[in-house]
A and B are shown apart, each in its own frame.
Chain A
């Protein structure tokens, strides 16, 4: 077994001079790894090897990035990998999702990926989860020491980010309990371009802190689509967003249904012909309607390997880590840019709390009403529950708790909290928790007894 890991053991067994030092968030995180790295000796190899073998790591996505990440992590010594993916295998995956074959089409990606990795690489356990990330309990995610993301959507990343950030615990002075950091490594690709980033919530920017990194989606004005189309995409989107609903009322459009897609294409072509617009093809129709992102094996391989290497470094400190965002572009030569972004100190998702100032006399009910009207939380709250340092102040559900905590609504918030501090707000609409840093004004000084 040891001979197998000869090359990577050069890294894991031997002390290094450019290993991780100032980058790590604190002694509590990966403490086992750090103490192990400080000990030099042949016993180290066994400890670190065993440590990696049992290290619980989660890979989200078993597609273009996920397949590569599973291979990379397994061949880095991680022995206990979970993978979650809600999709089944499609023919168009086969140009890059190398764990799948033609005869696997239709099967769940997570399951086939897990099987193939375990077949080829002895000693690794890959546990598949065929389902949506939203269907897993928050406790499921808490178990993992590191989460690696191979996703293709903003929404999914946002969701996992919220979950990971919800584990953070801050004290009333806004200081982070380092042991609650759930490290994540996130990769993304599109054609020849991609990025890899390390997220240590509360320390580096979380996904939400840097939402501006993602360019907005292309949408066309309604009047252009309906009255003055000029490009093939306009014609396609008209049929997709307007004509389908009219001509095939009640039927929900399924892009994987060939009849639906063919209808879409033919109607778009007709419309284009009416307006003398050329260029509508079946391929373009698919691309526009399904928002297809071009993808190739090489970029996925590069980005996944960078991410997996960072996961290895985070787990073992065997080398300095990426701080904290690397972008990659392979169209004109190879261009990479590594930058250390800073977190947003008032980030709604990862900061100690979004600041809210209230009058010292405000009741809990008035506070909740105020939250619902606050523009910053627009669309994020519907029936918020509030807790403070582990105590439920007001719970919307279940009925028993609601009844128990209902009297608190009439109490002054200040009396419930004692002083300024951070409230945890939970809501059905929120993936994680919303931390609100409450400061009171017009506080009367306590009278002398």
Chain B
């Protein structure tokens, strides 16, 4: 809508004020995922199925974080029991639709989020209008049973919508992502090893290093030479005396360190201390993780015209590694702090950054060429995107998930769960996985969860669900089985949703959702079981 010039000054002020408030409000999280991450959240559309404690908690965290829009789906009405475990429902809502009530209280937490609600059960929607789910980026399905989840999963995959399953059951919980493929460029591992290429300096770096003299008589200069340069010079010296080879045996490595230390002229030379401490970087440069190697070997890297940008970039990366890279990945360009004169450090930094840029240009050329070969617009991937990819190339991740139908069909599950048994120790988290399947089968047969009725039925139900669990364990060939105590505890839970457990499970679900939507950090690769009794979690790759 056009505004008259007289009003635009005010509009601009308002817009500026709103922007400042927004950055202020999200400051603590912008420092984690940046503006681009926040932007991805604000564009996302999330559907929550079932507004119990677990679902409400998951949504609360996403709304506080500024997710674009959410739709809460629930076919139930607010009961007394909701007031005992759900902060987003209040006494005034008793008897009213749960989705509508929760949505209203949720809206108070962040008026930037668009919140909608559907007062219908997820199962009825799946039945009558599966196309409903197509509009979402992500569906978070809470407190749903296996049978409906399998149907939902099929629908979500059909429409390329991400699915996140989260359930809390008494003192246990369960989280599982389901989608075909999720590629992460910015996985942001906790520990990054800097790539100094001490073992393979490129020509410009070697030239730069020549300017420095470790024998200089200027003591001030001597103690401000950056450690990377010290190591590069000592490498050159070593190579000249060892036929071009670098230290390889333990003895040689120890000699190399002594050689470095011998260059010290005075006791207070911190740069030489740093050099000795960093010497191992010469013979142990950062290696490629198995995940990244697998990505290069992945069939999807044989691109065709329907390939995603991510795989096109991987294909270009492969070409780079095979040619200009000489086996190396594009240089990251970042260097750690080094005790040094500012000037030396900045110049060294620029040397690394220049090499990183030239690697990006080489990869870029491959990207454009591949796109052309595939009949696609060669400029469809920006240099900025290519640079971003190169900088993170050592930490790429690709996750693929089996369909729920396949997993819950339980065919190979037994053998896979079996592998975890030796590591479980006192934990019975594999048995909890089995109990979730068992209670759902019980519910199919008896129309309720075990122990959901009066206290007197707990023992009876325990016998019945125990038999189901035992049978399941037999079917899938799981030796461990389920202990009597655990079966009993599951009946004791009565299928109830405890607030604290819902908050943990919902909390984890919201975190996984954020990772999926921002495409930063690495989502959980398997099925997560949360055991609130022992306060442990296990992730099963099934």
Contacts and interface: CB of A to CB of B under 8 A. Distances in A.
A226 to B, nearest CB: 11
Interface string B449-463: 001000100100000
A424 interface: no
A252 interface: no
A336 B492 CA distance: 26
Interface string B9-22: 00000000000010
Interface residues of B, number: 86
Contact of A301 (B339, B503, B534): B503
Contacts of A102: 21
B510 A298 contact: yes
A297 B64 contact: yes
B330 interface: no
A4 B80 CA distance: 5
Interface stretch (A92-100, A153-161, A388-396): A92-100
Interface in B73-122: 79-81, 83-87, 90-91, 108-110
Contacts of B537: 334-336
Interface in A68-101: 68, 71-72, 75-76, 91-92, 94-96, 98, 101
A286 B85 CA distance: 39
B507 A230 contact: no
A14 B60 contact: no
B29 A296 contact: yes
Interface in B38-97: 57, 60-61, 64-66, 79-81, 83-87, 90-91
B496 A92 contact: no
Contact of B190 (A305, A308, A319, A332): A332
Nearest to A96: B64
B256 to A, nearest CB: 26
A332 B81 contact: no
A335 B84 CA distance: 30
B388 interface: no
Contacts of A101: 108
Contact of A338 (B21, B84, B504, B535): B535
A192 B187 contact: no
A393 B192 CA distance: 57
A337 to B, nearest CB: 9
Interface stretch (B204-212, B292-300, B375-383, B518-526): B518-526
Contacts of A335: 537
A227 B536 CA distance: 49
Interface string A1-28: 0011111101101111110000000000
9 contacts: A4-B80, A6-B81, A11-B496, A71-B499, A283-B31, A299-B507, A302-B511, A309-B501, A331-B522
Interface of A: 3-8, 10-11, 13-18, 68, 71-72, 75-76, 91-92, 94-96, 98, 101-102, 120-122, 191-192, 196, 224, 228-231, 275-277, 283, 286-287, 292-299, 301-302, 304-306, 308-310, 312, 319-320, 322, 326, 329-336, 338
A-B pairs, top 8 by smallest CB distance, nearest first, are A7-B496, A305-B503, A302-B507, A3-B80, A17-B485, A301-B507, A75-B499, A4-B84
